[in-house]
Amino acid sequence: MSSTEAAAPDLETAPPVCPGCHTVNEQERRLCKRCGAWLIEPPAARSAVHVPLRKRFQAWLFGTAEYGNGFGRGALIAWIAVVVVPLAVLAGLMVTKKIEPIRGSKDQLGHMRGSHPVDASAALGKKGSSTAVLAIDDYRNTAWQATWGGQPKTLTIRFSDKPDLREIGFQNGYLGNDPTVTRPKKVILKVKGKPHGQTIELRDRPGLQRSYVYLEAASEFEIVVAEVWQPSNEVQVAIGALSFWERP
């Protein structure tokens, strides 16, 4: 090599030149500062590992790769959804709705054993020539009816014995929509000798509406119509029929 010839640059120390735009870049750069092309061999892309859906679900459920030796987040969520939530809902219903399991009852056609009062007397009014007793004989064509007048109305029910009553059923009003007749909205069951009664809310429809009651060993109690759906001094309030069920 003559003295006039320049030495070839050292490839290890020479600044990298972009193969695309031929821009000279700093030694430490990996990408061209002008066009962004790779100055060195780009790293190989990581190959994706395919995991079957079944194995991914098992890992999520059990929390370990061995699928069965652990208790993962999925199992915890499943237990909460299947066990804890239904128990919490049931407990809430038992507190708010006062649900009491009826053990030993013999249910036939959706009802427990029926109980029939021996006497029924109304404080005010009745429908036509029907007696108050007909309000509790389960016939749809008979009813107890009274002029509302803005004041609560009372129907007294008496039994010959002291049944263990657990349910009461109201046929609320009549099947038609007579504008002169309204339906009870709120009734209060009062047992003779007890200071507090049980309030039952009724819907504005004529079908049978059943409610749990707490009338154990009560030979006499009152059904007080406290509110009606269409209040008016002239309107008639009616109960189509009453049914009682007791524990056998």
Rounded distance between C-alpha atoms, residue 28 and residue 44, angstroms = 20
Ranges 32-46, 71-85, 149-163, most confident: 149-163
For residue 87, report the phi and psi dihedrals to the nearest 5 degrees.
Answer: -65, -40
The pLDDT of 72-86, averaged and rounded, is 72
The pLDDT score that the predictor gives to residue 195 is: 74
Lowest mean pLDDT among 107-121, 169-183, 184-198: 107-121
Rounded distance between C-alpha atoms, residue 188 and residue 195, angstroms = 12
Rounded distance between C-alpha atoms, residue 189 and residue 218, angstroms = 11
The pLDDT score that the predictor gives to residue 65 is: 52
The pLDDT score that the predictor gives to residue 122 is: 59
Lowest mean pLDDT among 90-104, 201-215, 228-242: 90-104
The pLDDT of 122-128, averaged and rounded, is 50
Per-residue pLDDT for 100 more than 80?
Answer: no
Cα 187–188–194 angle (5° rounding)? 170
What DSSP letter does each residue of the chain carry, written as one string?
--TTSPPPPPTTTSPPB-TTT--B--TT-SB-TTT--BSSPPPPPPPPPP--HHHHHHHHHHSSTTSSSS--HHHHHHHIIIIIHHHHHHHHHHHHS-----TT---BTTB-EE---SEEEESS--STT--GGGGGS--TT--EEEE-TTS-EEEEEE-SS--EEEEEEEEES-SS--TTEE-EEEEEEEETT-S--EEEE--SSSSEEEEEEEEET-SEEEEEEEEESS--SS-EEEEEEEEEEE--
Mean pLDDT of the chain: 71
Residue-wise pLDDT tens digits, 38-76: 777 766 666 666 777 777 777 766 665 554 555 566 666
Any idea where the domains of the chain sit in the sequence?
12-41, 53-96, 113-246
What percent of the chain has a predicted confidence (pLDDT) above 70?
61
For residue 24, report the phi and psi dihedrals to the nearest 5 degrees.
Answer: -80, 125
Lowest mean pLDDT among 131-140, 167-176, 214-223, 234-243: 131-140
Fold of the domain built from segment(s) 113-246: Jelly Rolls (2.60.120)
Is the pTM value of this prediction over 0.75?
no
The pLDDT score that the predictor gives to residue 144 is: 76
What percent of the chain has a predicted confidence (pLDDT) above 90?
6
The pLDDT score that the predictor gives to residue 52 is: 79
Q: Whose CA is closest to 143, among 122, 158, 116?
A: 122
Cα 140–159–195 angle (5° rounding)? 105
Per-residue pLDDT for 128 more than 50?
Answer: no
Residue-wise pLDDT tens digits, 26-37: 877 878 888 878
Q: How confident is the model at residue 130 (pLDDT cuts 50, 70, 90)?
A: very low
End-to-end CA distance of the chain: 122
CB under 8 Å to 138, separation ≥6 — which residues?
241, 243
